[in-house]
Amino acid sequence: MNVRDIPLKELADSHYKALDEDLAALRRVNEEEGVPLILTETEGLLRLITGLTKPHKILELGTAHGYSSLFFARCLPEAEITTIERNPVMIEAARAEFAKRSESERIDLRTGDAASILDDIKAELKNADESQKYDFVFIDAAKSHYREFLESVESICTKDAIIICDNILLKGWIVEADGSAARRHRTSIKYMKQFLDYLDKREDLDVTILTGGDGLAIIRYKYE
């Protein structure tokens, strides 16, 4: 993030309103412990989009401590959420958070490698109709695998599904890969650039790139 952007982010954060005090407290704990979670700007956009589209089945790649899964469940009382996580520490923490809240009844936490789990879900939904497929997908997992994830979810999405990929700017390294931190993430930077180029070539997709938060790619399929 450019130094000039910090006051702008602080301004945006000053207008942030949590969905409720429970989620506000969970966000504070996650931030204090350095747990990855959606930024407040990203949360605001997700709240707006899901409020307009009212998805019934949400697929999330990357659970962390469960904040965004609970956020989706709290925003959409009728929605079912499937969330995927491979990190054992994150899985244990997410389970603990879900156990405290009634929304967990609508959250299906699947643990293990995302590619393998997506294959399982594709098998489960092989003969599914549109009502059984996912109409909203949030990708916030391994940044080097975004293309793989996108291609994997295509067959289990409805024709009007919205797919959102988070952190596509990689803290600004996508355009300014300087410093030791950027060098440590050079593989992710390389694959994220390739992913964005790939999206440009997909004539069957409507794609909008936003720079708010840590960058978002908002994707939907073109259809008659």
| CATH code at position 42 | 3.40.50.150
- Residue ranges of the alpha helices (H) in 61-185? 67-75, 88-99, 114-124, 146-153, 179-184
The sheet carrying 157-166 orders its strands as: 107-111, 80-85, 57-61, 134-139, 157-166, 216-221, 205-210
pLDDT at 154 over 70: yes
- Tell me the residue type at 143: K
**E strand or H helix at 107:** strand 107-111
181 vs 195 pLDDT, higher one: 195
178 contacts 124 by C-beta, under 8 angstroms: no
182 vs 4 pLDDT, higher one: 182
Least confident stretch, 5-9, 71-75, 147-151: 5-9
pLDDT of residue 11: 83
Separation of alpha carbons 126 and 156, rounded Å: 8
186 vs 6 pLDDT, higher one: 186
Separation of alpha carbons 177 and 139, rounded Å: 23
pLDDT at 177 over 80: no
Separation of alpha carbons 158 and 34, rounded Å: 35
pLDDT at 4 over 80: no
* Percent above pLDDT 90 for the chain: 79
Which residue bears the tokens 């925003």?
75
**E strand or H helix at 210:** strand 205-210
Across 62-87, average pLDDT = 97
Across 155-160, average pLDDT = 95
pLDDT of residue 184: 74
Domain housing 117: 5-221
**E strand or H helix at 8:** helix 5-14
Burial class from Cβ neighbours inside 10 Å (0-12, 13-18, 19+) for residue 127 reads: exposed
pLDDT of residue 63: 98
Question: Torsion-angle region of residue 30: left (phi > 0), alpha (psi -120 to 50) or beta?
Answer: alpha
pTM of the model: 0.92
Across 77-100, average pLDDT = 97
Residue 220 β-bridge partners: 162, 206
Backbone angles phi, psi at 204, to 5 degrees: -90, 5
CA-to-CA separations, 125 to 26, 41, 73, 118, in angstroms, rounded: 33, 33, 22, 10
161 contacts 168 by C-beta, under 8 angstroms: no
pLDDT mean across residues, the chain: 92
Number of structural domains the chain divides into = 1
Least confident stretch, 15-19, 132-136, 143-147, 202-206: 15-19
Across 10-31, average pLDDT = 91
pLDDT band at 162 (very low <50, low <70, confident <90, very high): very high
pLDDT band at 2 (very low <50, low <70, confident <90, very high): very low
